[in-house]
Amino acid sequence: MNRSMSSGYDNANYSTERAEPGLPTSSAKRLAKGLGWFSIGLGLAELLAPRAIANISGVSKERTGLIRLYGLREIASGITIFSQEKPTEGVWSRVVGDALDLTSLGMAAANPNTKKGRLAFATANVLAVTALDVICAMQLSNGKRGIHAQASCVVNREPEDVYSFWRNFQNLPRFMRHVESVHDLGDGRSHWRVKGPAGMDVEWDATIIADVPNEVITWRSLENADVDNAGAVRFERAPGGRGTIVRVNLEYNPIAGPLGATVAKLFGEEPEQQLDDDLRRFKQVMEIGEVVVSEGSLFGTGYMAQRPAQPPAASELEQAEMLPSQTATNYGGSEEEFKGRAAGRGTQ
Amino acid sequence: MRANCWFGKTTMSVEEVPDPQILNQRDAIVKITSTAICGSDLHMYNGFIPTMQRGDILGHEFMGEVVEVGREVHNLKVGDRVVVPFTISCGNCFFCTQQMFSLCENSNPNAWMAEKMFGHSPSGMFGYSHLTGGFAGGQAEYARVPFADVGPIKVPSHLSDEQVLFLSDIFPTGYMGAEMCDIKPGDTIAIWGCGPVGQFSIRSAFLLGAERVIAIDQVPERLQMAQQGGAETINYEEQNVYETLMDMTGGRGPDACIDDVGMEAHAPVLIFAYDRLKQAMALETDRPHALREAIMCCRNGGTVSIIGGYGGFIDKFPIGSLMNRSLTIKAGQTHMQRYMRPLLQRIENGDIDPSFVITHRLSLDDAPYGYDIFKNKKDNCIKIVLKPDWAGNGDGAAAKDDSYTVVH
């Protein structure tokens, strides 16, 4: 299994099939670069010539230590901006720095020994830069709202089999733990019902954008979706006749925005981990006909979801997910029948 | 049913837990007649394996009678007497179809945990932490056996439990350790560790045509058992291993070396203290003394076979010795299904009787006592078999001694 997660990361090989809502505009990135150079320039000046800076901005010359410290901070922001492909954090760190600068200037204004005219000029300049910083950071953050996850696996089956199983979207809940149901509405449209974080159910209609048999399927949600999302799955014959390489890219705007995504991560619901585990179960369904269940992972494969590796009580089995009654392709009986069978044997 | 559960470092307790049920269609339920404590169980007992949960049932060496089969198990029926391999393998994936069963891609639902540790995941295993799947183990009255159509083998009624039980792990494991040495007639094989797996490596090396086997340990009764198996022995507390081995092989070194020790190696005082300290400080997860020594001692162009269990990261690894002297390293969890049938044949032929390694037979209820004497090598303990249907104080000591009953 291979997975990776990125935001705004552009992989030339796969970008044509990948849906990427809300990439940061290149102008925001250019602006960030400019702000990065500004950070480094100002930082060097503060570090090397703190007295001149104090003179220009009208603050007390006794504050050279603090100015040097702020210079280091500026340089750190600059380096962060240049070291990030998408410098959201770097620019936000500049916004925090601006707030510090403004606070310091405000405190200086209360001091009778400072030159008020120069202080006002310096404050106006910092305010102008702050505005630029905030605009740039917000643009970059907007782009980041879309979560992107990708994963791949090798399935020991022919691309034709793998494609046709996936293309029947009603099969997806067999291996996607969070997908409750997918109904085919005809004309390439489908209705999805998905368990969101904290027990919220979310729904949307989706449409197929591209469908090349045995090669690729891409889809995206239609307007009024609870969660805007898009995805692509590609099927590629593995070298040497060793089955099929399946690559999935997903992109969606998390419920409740970036904050919601962070909270979800705290509860072990990382999107890239989910996708990776979904693909592992897809492989199990394709290769052995059902999802493999262990005692410890009955309630999920996340670390926090583990239960002791001992047989479940009947009440626990009722809450278990991904049992053959839900995942097996050959499963004839009803869920009740399965649970009845499973619970029927007593040895005590 | 009753099951031996892990509740923390050196804390085991036999508990009443729900009976296992068929969960997947290729499952079987086995009523366990004999089960054993393995040296690798001690890694969990000693708290060196991450991803354990309080209440985990341990045990991966077990056999018994099939009492229920899932609807997709067609080669077993209720009443069959089977030995169950410790690894869980689907039989369908890329690795299973290439006979690399312990690398099964489908049998570990928690594979992501192992991927974090190892880069990729091995197969699922019974009772061996959650990073190998979180499967309930076999130190219990019953066990659920996934992929029962691929794992368990039927055993004939004329062989006793004790003769065939170790087909579940230590006999194939010791055998694979020796097989990885690619033994040629006339070869001298040196084996670090004379625990149960080491004992089987010694005998397997001879079965595979080795001329000399030199076994290294410090526990007198283990060295004695090695000698009974035909090995010459080195007690590392009394002799310098490198010098003695060079002396015995005319300075060339053994043709192949087997590490049957793994991550909790004991060693002469200073080296042991160094590795134990680093392990305690989490700067090193495993103590690799046996492996370092095996590499340094192996002859030029020879093979070092690692079958003792390792879990993480080591340092002071003699890569220079390995590279400059054209050594080959082979390693792995045992590809059980490859070996179980041929080795059952060896037992039927009378080539070997694996029961020689057993020193203790206890009731399942005395399992916590068993872990204690096995870990601390009390009472000359080398290998313990647990009997679920024996009354509570099988060996006398356990039921009388309250200190082995865990309160939690």
Q: What is the pLDDT of residue A332?
A: 65
Q: What is the pLDDT of residue A134?
A: 80
A238 to chain B: nearest residue by CA?
A: B94
Average pLDDT of B320-341? Answer: 98
Determine the residue among A270, A288, A322 to mutate to test chain B binding: the one whose Cβ has the most chain B Cβ atoms within 10 Å: A288
Residue B199 in tokens: 């004992």
pLDDT tens digits for range B185-242: 999 999 999 999 999 999 999 999 999 999 999 999 999 999 999 999 999 999 999 9
Average pLDDT of B42-61? Answer: 95
Considering chain B, what is the average pLDDT of its residues?
93
- What's the sign of the alpha-carbon dihedral B375, B376, B381, B386? negative
Dist CA B178 CA B167 (whole Å): 15
**How far away is chain A from the Cα of B197, in angstroms, using its nearest Cα?**
26
Residue A86 in tokens: 């998408």
Classify burial at A48, counting beta carbons within 10 Å of its beta carbon; exposed 0-12, middle 13-18, buried 19 or more.
Answer: exposed
Residue B260 in tokens: 């049957």
Q: Where does the pLDDT of residue A263 fall: very low under 50, low under 70, confident under 90, or very high at 90 and above?
A: low
Dist CA B206 CA B231 (whole Å): 9
Q: Where does the pLDDT of residue B399 fall: very low under 50, low under 70, confident under 90, or very high at 90 and above?
A: very low
For helices A26-48 and A50-57, what crossing angle results, to 10°?
110
Picking from A154, A297, A309, the nearest residue to B56 by CB comes out as A309
Average pLDDT of A80-86? Answer: 86
Q: Where does the pLDDT of residue A5 fall: very low under 50, low under 70, confident under 90, or very high at 90 and above?
A: very low
Are the beta carbons of A309 and B127 separated by less than 8 Å? Answer: yes
Q: Which of these ranges, A24-28, A311-315, B119-123, B276-280, has the smallest mean pLDDT?
A: A24-28
Residue B32 pLDDT greater than 80, yes or no: yes
Indicate the DSSP class of residue B278: H
With contacts defined as CB-CB under 8 Å, which chain A residues touch B31? Answer: 347
Q: Where does the pLDDT of residue B403 fall: very low under 50, low under 70, confident under 90, or very high at 90 and above?
A: very low
Window 301-330 of B, Cβ < 8 Å to A = none
Dist CA B237 CA B79 (whole Å): 50
Q: What is the pLDDT of residue A338?
A: 45
Residue A21 pLDDT greater than 80, yes or no: no
Residue A2 pLDDT greater than 80, yes or no: no
Dist CA B345 CA B349 (whole Å): 6
Picking from A273, A288, A308, the nearest residue to B92 by CB comes out as A288
Indicate the DSSP class of residue B13: E
Dist CA A172 CA A166 (whole Å): 7
Picking from A291, A310, A347, the nearest residue to B57 by CB comes out as A310
pLDDT tens digits for range B377-386: 999 999 999 9
Residue A192 pLDDT greater than 70, yes or no: yes
| Radius of gyration over every alpha carbon of chain A, rounded to an integer in angstroms | 27
Q: What is the pLDDT of residue A128?
A: 87
| Radius of gyration over every alpha carbon of chain B, rounded to an integer in angstroms | 20
Q: What is the pLDDT of residue A257?
A: 62
Find residue B84's DSSP bridge partners.
B62
- Which residue do the tokens 């409750």 mark? A180
B1 to chain A: nearest residue by CA?
A: A348
Find residue A230's DSSP bridge partners.
A220, A251
Considering chain A, what is the average pLDDT of its residues?
82
B3 to chain A: nearest residue by CA?
A: A310
Q: Which of these ranges, A138-147, A296-305, B262-271, B370-379, has the smallest mean pLDDT?
A: A138-147
Find residue A343's DSSP bridge partners.
none
Q: What is the pLDDT of residue B36?
A: 98
Average pLDDT of A120-146? Answer: 79
H helix or E strand, kind and range, residue B371: helix B367-375
Picking from B22, B29, B133, the nearest residue to A296 by CB comes out as B133
Determine the residue among A294, A307, A345 to mutate to test chain B binding: the one whose Cβ has the most chain B Cβ atoms within 10 Å: A294
Are the beta carbons of B18 and A311 separated by less than 8 Å? Answer: yes
Q: What is the pLDDT of residue B400?
A: 38
Q: Which of these ranges, A269-283, B174-188, B278-292, has the smallest mean pLDDT?
A: B278-292
| pLDDT greater at residue A112 or residue B310 | B310
Q: Where does the pLDDT of residue B408 fall: very low under 50, low under 70, confident under 90, or very high at 90 and above?
A: very low
- Which residues are CB-neighbours of B397 under 8 A, at least 6 positions away? B366, B369
> Cα separations (Å) of A309 from A326, B37, B118, B128, B407?
22, 17, 22, 9, 20
B140 to chain A: nearest residue by CA?
A: A310
pLDDT tens digits for range A96-131: 899 889 888 888 888 877 888 888 888 888 888 888
Q: Any CB–CB contact under 8 A between B57 and chain A? A: yes
- Which residue do the tokens 């004497």 mark? B373
A3 to chain B: nearest residue by CA?
A: B112
Dist CA A187 CA A164 (whole Å): 17
H helix or E strand, kind and range, residue B241: helix B241-248
Are the beta carbons of B94 and A296 separated by less than 8 Å? Answer: no
With contacts defined as CB-CB under 8 Å, which chain B residues touch A324? Answer: 23-25
Nearest residue to A84 (alpha-carbon basis) of A145, A139, A20, A32: A32
Q: Which domains does chain B have, with CATH numbers?
A: 2-169+335-404 (3.90.180.10), 171-331 (3.40.50.720)
Nearest residue to B361 (alpha-carbon basis) of B106, B116, B115, B37: B37
Indicate the DSSP class of residue B315: -
With contacts defined as CB-CB under 8 Å, which chain A residues touch B130? Answer: 296-297, 303, 306, 309
Indicate the DSSP class of residue B356: G
Residue B130 pLDDT greater than 70, yes or no: yes
Q: Where is mean pLDDT largest: A331-345, B260-274, B333-347?
A: B333-347
Residue A260 pLDDT greater than 70, yes or no: no
Are the beta carbons of B21 and A312 separated by less than 8 Å? Answer: yes
Are the beta carbons of B106 and A311 separated by less than 8 Å? Answer: no
B141 to chain A: nearest residue by CA?
A: A347
b/e code B249-267 from CB counts within 10 Å (16+ = b): beeebbbbbbbbbbbbbbb
With contacts defined as CB-CB under 8 Å, which chain B residues touch A311? Answer: 17-21, 136, 144
- Which residues are CB-neighbours of B343 under 8 A, at least 6 positions away? B167, B171, B172, B175
Picking from A290, A308, A345, the nearest residue to B21 by CB comes out as A345
Q: Which of these ranges, A270-279, B62-71, B331-340, has the smallest mean pLDDT?
A: A270-279
| pLDDT greater at residue A216 or residue A147 | A216
With contacts defined as CB-CB under 8 Å, which chain B residues touch A323? Answer: 23
With contacts defined as CB-CB under 8 Å, which chain A residues touch B118? Answer: none
Q: Rounded to the nearest 5 degrees, what angle is found at the Cα of B339, between the Cα atoms of B336 and B341?
A: 115
Find residue B305's DSSP bridge partners.
B258, B330
pLDDT tens digits for range A38-62: 999 999 999 999 998 888 888 888 8
| pLDDT greater at residue A131 or residue B404 | A131
- Which residues are CB-neighbours of A329 under 8 A, at least 6 positions away? A171, A174, A285, A289, A290
Q: What is the pLDDT of residue A1?
A: 56
Contacts 24+ apart (CB under 8 A), A237-241: A237/A159, A238/A154
Residue B176 in tokens: 């694979």
Do B267 and B282 meet the contact criterion of CB atoms below 8 Å apart? no
- Express as a percent the part of chain A with pLDDT over 90: 42
Q: What is the pLDDT of residue A15?
A: 38
With contacts defined as CB-CB under 8 Å, which chain A residues touch B67? Answer: 345, 347
**How far away is chain A from the Cα of B4, in angstroms, using its nearest Cα?**
10
Residue B405 pLDDT greater than 50, yes or no: no
Q: Where are the domains of chain A?
A: 26-144, 147-283, 289-348
Are the beta carbons of A296 and B19 separated by less than 8 Å? Answer: no
Instruction: Judge: domain A147-283, CATH 3.30.420.40.
Output: no
- B256-259 and B188-192 beta bridge pairing: parallel
Residue B62: how many CA atoms within 13 Å on its side-chain side? 31
B129 to chain A: nearest residue by CA?
A: A309
Residue B86 pLDDT greater than 50, yes or no: yes
Interface size between A and B, measured as CB pairs under 8 A:
145
Q: Where does the pLDDT of residue B355 fall: very low under 50, low under 70, confident under 90, or very high at 90 and above?
A: very high
Window 94-153 of B, Cβ < 8 Å to A = 94, 97, 105-107, 109-113, 115, 124, 127, 130, 133-137, 141-142, 144, 146
Q: Where is mean pLDDT largest: A196-210, B111-125, B260-274?
A: B111-125
Interface TM-score (ipTM) > 0.95:
no
A345 to chain B: nearest residue by CA?
A: B21
Picking from A156, A308, A342, the nearest residue to B56 by CB comes out as A308
Do B347 and B172 meet the contact criterion of CB atoms below 8 Å apart? no
B144 to chain A: nearest residue by CA?
A: A311
At A132, phi and psi to the nearest 5?
A: -60, -45
Tell me the one-letter amino acid at B170: I
Residue A210 pLDDT greater than 50, yes or no: yes
Are the beta carbons of A243 and B94 separated by less than 8 Å? Answer: yes
Do B234 and B244 meet the contact criterion of CB atoms below 8 Å apart? yes
Picking from B25, B92, B110, the nearest residue to A156 by CB comes out as B92
A347 to chain B: nearest residue by CA?
A: B19
Residue A347 pLDDT greater than 60, yes or no: no
- What's the sign of the alpha-carbon dihedral B88, B91, B92, B94? positive
Q: What is the pLDDT of residue B388?
A: 95
Do B391 and B363 meet the contact criterion of CB atoms below 8 Å apart? yes
Q: Rounded to the nearest 5 degrees, what angle is found at the Cα of A348, between the Cα atoms of A347 and B5?
A: 90
Find residue A218's DSSP bridge partners.
A210, A232
Indicate the DSSP class of residue B407: P
Q: What is the 3-state secondary structure (H, E, C) of chain A?
A: CEEEEECCCCCCCCCCCCCCCCCCCHHHHHHHHHHHHHHHHHHHHHHHCHHHHHHHHCCCHHHHHHHHHHHHHHHHHHHHHHHCCCCHHHHHHHHHHHHHHHHHHHHHHCCCCCCHHHHHHHHHHHHHHHHHHHHHHHHHHHHHCCEEEEEEEEECCCHHHHHHHHHCHHHHHHCCCCEEEEEEEECCEEEEEEECHHHCEEEEEEEEEEEECCCEEEEEECCCCCCCEEEEEEEEECHHHCCEEEEEEEEECCCCHHHHHHHHHHCCCCHHHHHHHHHHHHHHHHHHCCCCCCCCCCCCCCCCCCCCCCCCCHHHHHHCCCCHHHHCCCCCCCHHHHHHHHHHCCCC
Window 24-53 of B, Cβ < 8 Å to A = 24-26, 29, 31, 51, 53
| pLDDT greater at residue B70 or residue A201 | B70
Picking from B111, B130, B144, the nearest residue to A311 by CB comes out as B144
